[in-house]
Structure 1
Amino acid sequence: MDTLRALSEGVLPPAGNRIALSTAESNAVQSLFPDRVLSWTNSGTSALALALLAIRRDAPEVDQPEVIIPAYCCPDLVSAALYAGYTPVFSDLAKDRCHYDQEALKRALSERTLAVIAINFLGVAEPIKSLRVALNRPSVAIIEDNAQWFPSKPQVQTTAADYQTFSFGRGKPVNLLGGGLLVSSNDPPRQPGTAKGSALQRGLYYGKCMAYNTLLHPTMYQALARNPWLRLGETRYHEHTSIEAFPAGQAHLVRANIQTYWSHERRAEKSYRKHLAAINLLAPQIEASEERLLRYPLLLESRETRNALLHKLNERGLGATTLYSDTIDRVNDVPQQRLRQAGDNANAASFAQRFLTLPVHEGVKAHHIERTLTVIDCVVG
């Protein structure tokens, strides 16, 4: 009976809102970042690589430059760094936190350090001003990686970072199935611009968007999620090979999808903030910000509890994930010989073993929230 019920209800995608196909010319993004240079690229990884190239251009005297990244992060940070000619140096997280241990970060600095990448983790921003004070190295640039976040209100954005990057890939806050953005104070070494696609290319892209929207429905998504051959959601390293223009046909969809993102209700997120604060070790960080979350991040006391909860939630098709599953030095295919470890990464390893995410996108309905909280109450108590 439980199996039949699970099949009839399907599987929630862990992230992903439908793509709005309304077209409009817009300066919606420029109005968020007035007086800043916007460089549109084919991916968030390209935007990050472009920032690193700009930093390297301004410090030609540094041979074999290094960039510091968190020990628990997306492997795309590594591929962007290697593409730009850097050695990625991974540094530990603070205990029971999703951001840097600032003492470990200071120990990771070297004469070759040109940049630090600060992650906005699912909508929980790294404290950039505090980070800058801890570094006490004006020559070290800070890149705020916002691949998992986008401004939740139409108001001017400010940051203490030198560069900001954004992603419009699948499952991102503003989802266009691809594309990236670098926000900077001056022109980067190259300006990819916007690709000019044919009518056929645009038609194929729109068809791809419609197919994606259809697959987001739980009864459709389960065909992908329950197929073991697809290894859906598995974290793997992919070499970055080029920085290209923003994909053809997508520029006209930016405004509509930003506005759609701003209009989404936050019912699931608000419910989890309220009901899970007592068991979530990340609750203080989450509650310090009112920013919209891409997924609800849940850090538990033990690996055993996390694993039991993950199993029960996914048995019922409720879209829980472990995100990256492990520290960056243990991700499949990451070229370990090209990385440098700064000290141990015990906190990051512990974080990876006890962490999971819950979906909060527009497809999460009241009955999904109720079932999720019931499962958590049964497992965690």
Structure 2
Amino acid sequence: MKGKLRPVGSPVPFPRISERQELPWAALYHTEFMGSGTEALSLAVAIAIRRHSQVSTPEVIIPAYGCPDLVSAIIAQGAKPVLVDLLPNGPHMNDVGVRGATTPSTVAVVGVGFLGIPERLEELSGICREHNLLLIEDSAQCFPPASASKPHADLVVLSFGRGKPINLMGGGALLVRTDLAGQAEEAVAQYPVSVLKVGMKWLIKRLLFNLLMRRLPYYVLERMPLLGIGETSFHRLDTISRLDLPESVLQAGLRDFQRRPLIHQRYDTELAGLEAWGWKCLASDRSEMSRNDPQQPVPLLRYPVLAPSKDMRDRALAVLNSEGIGASAFYGRTLPQIEGVEAAVGGRDYPVASDFASRLLTLPTHEGVTSADVTLIGRILFSVAES
């Protein structure tokens, strides 16, 4: 097949007027739409800081492996990001490390969902309750958020940008647990409201965006070095605003997500036996989240696999991409190793997170992935594993 299968991202749905469905978290959380997921996280940090107004230099705990936007959102509020290493062979923060990083200056802990795999929010919630901290669930990569059914988090962050579970070409949301909504009003009200207009400009942008996600256009785009497709970089957050999001746009996103195929289940079958060669399929031991039924799984954003070594991961990436499969190392390194981040977090080493970053391989799970793609991917990974 000509072109290249993109690593992530679903087309932007057309906003039709139809039957309205209730938001999965409506009974537990108040929803505040924001300009982006990063802005939503920054507002969550602002709420935590106001709750601990006596702290002169507030600190927020985050994982050492993650998106640099975590750091951007925190420093935009004048707070200090405090990094914690991971548990071995997975994306979850080490709870012992979280306890050790907690100080009188800590105001919040951010539990970050990973490609559809939620953080261990119950454990983190227990730590936060002990120390009177707010727990923020960053569910930018997970939908619905884990707290929609069990409200362990005080605040929940969603993102509607490209490459996220619901792609609306931008925007995000902060969910505030109903018992905290009154306390959060002052922090929320300080930010202006921008309006998303679904006019001709938006519709043309949508058509162009969806066109460029196809295999041949994506193949061409990826080879334009100035665009930096797929690169992980640090950008400061300069503006924060709330968003007046048309209900038709959000409802279209919800409907589109619910109809998405469960590609990760095909990988589960195709890659069965790979772990005998020292690989680890991280999706195999994830907690299944639900749309409405606790027994009904939801799509993964990407399918994450840990190779036995960096060398084997890199060889698999090279072969997959040469065969037209948009496999990725994702962030590729820990937060302190990303240019521009070290000044905010320090240069300390996080050995478990570094090992995780060096061996992680992610595979596409969007609706453009065919059975033939999954078969090809399986054949390549087993070939590399056996070599």
The TM-score, its normalising length taken from structure 2, stands at 0.88
Q: Are 1:132 and 2:125 matched, yes or no?
A: yes
* Distance of aligned partners of 1:287 and 1:115 in 2 relative to their CA distance in 1, 3 Å threshold: closer
Shift of 1:136: 5.9
Q: Name the structure 1 match of 2:200.
A: 203
Give distance in 1, aligned partners of 2:151 and 2:308.
Answer: 33
| CA shift digits 1:145-204 (9 cap, x unpaired) | 000011299x96332111111000011111001001000121531245863356xx7321
Which of 362, 366, 378 pairs up with 2:383? 378
Q: Are 1:164 and 2:156 matched, yes or no?
A: yes
Q: Name the structure 2 match of 1:215.
A: 212
Give distance in 2, aligned partners of 1:313 and 1:64.
Answer: 46
Number of matched pairs: 367
Q: Name the structure 2 match of 1:265.
A: 261
Amino acid corresponding to residue 307 of structure 2 in structure 1: L
Stretches of structure 1 that go unaligned for 5 or more consecutive residues are 1-7
Q: Name the structure 2 match of 1:5.
A: none
CA contact (8 A) 1:194 1:246 kept: yes
* Distance of aligned partners of 1:357 and 1:252 in 2 relative to their CA distance in 1, 3 Å threshold: same
Q: Name the structure 1 match of 2:60.
A: 67
122-131 vs 347-356, greater mean Cα deviation: 122-131
Amino-acid identity (%)? 31
CA contact (8 A) 1:42 1:247 kept: no
Q: Are 1:182 and 2:189 matched, yes or no?
A: no
Which of 81, 85, 94 pairs up with 1:88? 81
Shift of 1:214: 0.6
CA contact (8 A) 2:326 2:363 kept: yes
- Mapping for residues 1-381 of structure 1, pairs under 5 Å: 9-24=2-17, 28=21, 30-134=23-127, 137-151=130-144, 157-185=149-177, 186-187=181-182, 188=184, 189-191=187-189, 195-196=194-195, 202-246=199-243, 251-266=247-262, 268-277=263-272, 278-279=274-275, 280-283=279-282, 286-289=285-288, 290-334=297-341, 336-340=342-346, 344-381=349-386
Give distance in 2, aligned partners of 1:309 and 1:324.
Answer: 16
Q: Name the structure 2 match of 1:4.
A: none
Give secondary structure in 2 for the equivalent of 1:114. Answer: strand
Stretches of structure 2 that go unaligned for 5 or more consecutive residues are 289-296
CA contact (8 A) 2:283 2:303 kept: no
Shift of 1:286: 3.5
Give distance in 1, aligned partners of 2:77 and 2:160.
Answer: 21
Give secondary structure in 2 for the equivalent of 1:246. Answer: strand
CA contact (8 A) 1:168 1:180 kept: yes
Amino acid corresponding to residue 239 of structure 2 in structure 1: S
* Distance of aligned partners of 1:93 and 1:371 in 2 relative to their CA distance in 1, 3 Å threshold: same
Shift of 1:134: 4.6
The TM-score, its normalising length taken from structure 1, stands at 0.90
Amino acid corresponding to residue 263 of structure 1 in structure 2: R
Give distance in 1, aligned partners of 2:321 and 2:63.
Answer: 28
CA contact (8 A) 2:268 2:284 kept: no
CA contact (8 A) 1:11 1:225 kept: no
What RMSD in Å do the two structures reach over aligned CA positions? 2.3
Bigger relative contact order (CA 8 A; separation at least 6):
1
Give distance in 1, aligned partners of 2:175 and 2:23.
Answer: 10
Give distance in 1, aligned partners of 2:82 and 2:19.
Answer: 39
Give distance in 1, aligned partners of 2:307 and 2:201.
Answer: 43
